[in-house]
Amino acid sequence: MRLDQKINDKVRSSPRAQAALVVDAVCHHQQLLDDALNELFSLNPDEKLKPIIHELVYGAVRWCIQLQWLTTQLLDKPVRKKDRIVQALLLVGLYELRFMGTASHASVNETVAAATILNKPWSKNLVNACLRQYTRSEQDFNISISTDIGLLQSHPQWLIDSIKKAWPEKWPTILDANNKRPPMGLRVNNKQTDRVSYIKQLTEAKIKNSAMPFSEHGILLPKPTPVTKLPGFAAGLVTVQDGAAQLATILLDLQADQSILDACCAPGGKLAHILEAMPDDADVTGLDISRDRLDRVKENLRRLQLNCRLIQANASKINNQNEQAGQTDTWFEKSFDRILLDAPCSATGVIRRHPDIKLHRQSQDVAKVVVLQAQLLNSLWPLLACGGKLVYVTCSILPVENDEQIDKFLKAHADASVLTPDEMLSGESFRNSTLTTQAVKILRAAVIQKPHGFQVLPGSLDMDGFYYACLKKNT
């Protein structure tokens, strides 16, 4: 669905109409939330409206399952497919009434007005009746919602069941964390500045911040800030990156003379962190299957004034690369001392940051991605030098993608061993960092150690949900 065909001056004046267009794109046309919202903002540069549009969109998507149930109670019959923008507008209006504290008369009036702006004037009475009925019956609806965990936490049942099975004692906390607004993580580009200096710039710009205790270049902003307002962002002083993602480079245990491969490098955050930690002439290769995604990596590296070799190739089929038509590059015939495999996954650890995952992900998707992860591990393993390390990372909290995946790999590869979680979080992995002993203790206490790696759960130390394992090739 192209938003540019639906934006006019009247729509640009109504944040609720704009929010409904994005919610419709996400909920009814399977568009990614970030992509749809960025497209909208590119068409409407009014900075004053962006915060409320952002809040309405993310909130309506985050609570979409609950809000959709409410519409089934309020509507006599489902809206027609061609009128689903009205359904999206109701979701926006209900979110504002339930969660934003806007005066009900103002919220209802503005949402009803948006129906006309969206060329659905016939629906004004319908929208008005539904929202007013909701305000009259809110307590009754709340009682019904409280008896159904799927509605209460606005998660699909298959995902609730999977999280319950994986984390029988922690699943309520995980569901709750998934619905919280996440803080904003930053990583200072140490080739351009240092954390102390950049914190000073943030403070002078009146942006609240604190140093991450477990990442020597990490900063936490309790309230997300547009990158255009971050000091020196365009000049490459800083990158937006969650604290859990920043652990990857530390766990790689990098040294100046190593050859390094980031096997699924887009959009480039972890690759940039590697380059920031290495000398300018370091042997670093970034690999990704998508040309478009590699273009985004190039843009990010250019902003950060970093450079490395970038290759478009399918990391799950390395052994077949030389059989491709026109393939003359022999990069895959060399070995690497370090390989980072930031594997495709269900992304169940970053739902708080990408709430549309709850709508777009299906149970069968997990089984498919598990197969791909195994293919990637098996394909990349021959490229790892003897004595080298492969760091496997996902932003999933499901064991089948994480420790169970590594367990299967170890059983199939006699030349592979794994660093224990204690070893990963001890002196060897962290010797090149400036983290204090106390900071490492804080991190070790926050993660959950598994037989082959460790898990960070969503919200722990304000981090996203990540899994890490470190495989070593035996000599």
Question: What pLDDT is stored for residue 363 in this prediction?
Answer: 94
pLDDT one-digit tens code per residue, 9-61: 788 889 999 999 999 999 999 999 999 999 999 887 788 899 999 999 999 99
Strands 259-262 and 238-240, sheet pairing = unpaired
pLDDT of residue 277: 92
Nearest to 151 by CA among 226, 273, 66: 66
Q: Classify residue 390 as exposed, middle or buried by CB count within 10 Å of its CB (0-12, 13-18, 19+).
A: buried
Q: Could you give the CA distance from residue 105 to residue 285 in angstroms, rounded to a whole number? A: 57
- Phi, psi (rounded to 5 degrees) for 203: -65, -40
- Lowest-confidence region among 275-289, 323-337, 419-433: 323-337
pLDDT tens-digit series, residues 80-104: 999 999 999 999 999 999 999 889 9
- Name the nearest CA neighbour of 268 among 300, 236, 226: 300
**Which tens digits make up the pLDDT trace of 250-268?**
899 999 999 999 999 999 9
Contact 288, 264 (CB under 8 A): yes
Instruction: Using alpha carbons, select from 85, 66, 68 the residue that is nearest to residue 28.
Output: 85
Whole-Å CA distances, 72 to 68, 79, 133: 7, 10, 13
pLDDT of the residue at 327: 46
DSSP calls for 196-221 = HHHHHHHHHTT---EE-TT-TTEEEE
Burial level of 101, CB count in 10 A (0-12/13-18/19+)? Answer: exposed
Q: Which fold has domain 243-473?
A: Rossmann fold (3.40.50)
Mean pLDDT in residue range 448-455: 96
| pLDDT, tens digit (0-9, with 9 covering 90-100), for 186-223 | 999 999 999 999 999 999 999 999 999 888 899 999 99
Q: Please say if 264 is a catalytic residue.
A: no
405: exposed, middle or buried (Cβ count in 10 Å: 0-12, 13-18, 19+): buried
Tokens coding 313: 């190739």
CA-to-CA distance for 163 and 35, rounded, in angstroms? 27
Identify the pLDDT of residue 4: 67
Evaluate whether 88 touches 65 at the Cβ level (below 8 Å).
no
Instruction: Give the CATH number of domain 3-154; options: 3.40.1110.10, 1.10.940.10, 2.30.40.10, 1.10.10.60.
Output: 1.10.940.10
For the cut 70, the answer to whether the pLDDT of residue 434 exceeds it is: no
The length of the chain, given as a count of residues: 475
Token pair for residue 388? 């080298």
CB burial class (10 A; 0-12, 13-18, 19+) of residue 431? exposed
- Residues 330-367 have pLDDT tens digits of 667 789 999 999 999 999 999 999 999 999 999 999 99
Closest listed residue to residue 395, CA positions, set 223, 269, 216: 269
Distance (Å, whole) CA 248 – CA 90: 42
Among residues 64, 264, 345, 395, the one annotated as catalytic is: 395
pLDDT at 224 > cutoff 60:
yes
Between CA 351 and CA 458 the distance in angstroms is 9
Q: Give the Cα separation of 316 and 337 in Å (integer).
A: 19
Tokens found for residue 103: 């005066």
Give CA–CA dist 337/302, Å, rounded: 25
Mean pLDDT value across residues 51-76: 97
Cβ atoms within 10 A of the Cβ of 229, count?
A: 10
Residue 329 confidence (pLDDT)? 54
The pLDDT of residue 328 is 43
Residue 455 φ then ψ, to 5°: -115, 135
Question: In angstroms, rounded to a whole number, what is the distance separating the alpha carbons of residues 309 and 336?
Answer: 14
**219 vs 146: CA distance, rounded Å:** 37
| Pairing of β 309-312 and β 283-288 | parallel
CB-based contacts of 31: which residues, under 8 Å, 6+ apart? 1, 25
pLDDT, the chain, mean: 92
Cα 397 to chain centroid distance, Å, stands at 13
- Distance CA(463)–CA(313), nearest Å, equals 31
3-state secondary structure of 78: coil
Q: Is the pLDDT of residue 469 over 90?
A: yes
| Closest residue by Cα to residue 380 from 262, 227, 474, 290 | 262
pLDDT at position 26: 97
Question: pLDDT grade, residue 320 (50/70/90)?
Answer: low
CATH code of the domain occupying 184-240: 3.30.70.1170
Average pLDDT over residues 286-310: 95
What pLDDT, on the 0 to 100 scale, is given for residue 429? 58
pLDDT in the model for residue 325: 37
Beta bridge pairs of residue 218: 187
Name the helix (H) or strand (E) containing 288: strand 283-288
Cα end-to-end distance, the chain, whole Å: 54
For 472, the token pair is 């070593």
Supply 34's token pair: 């970030």
- Please state the domain extents for the chain: 3-154, 184-240, 243-473
Q: What integer is the mean pLDDT of 387-395?
A: 97
Alpha-carbon gap, residue 229 to 219, rounded angstroms: 15
Q: Is 239 exposed, middle or buried (0-12, 13-18, 19+ CB in 10 A)?
A: buried
Identify whether 182 is preceded by a cis peptide bond (ω within 30 of 0).
no
Distances (CA, A) of 249 to 166, 274, 379, 388, 393: 27, 6, 22, 15, 11
Specify the pLDDT at position 233: 97
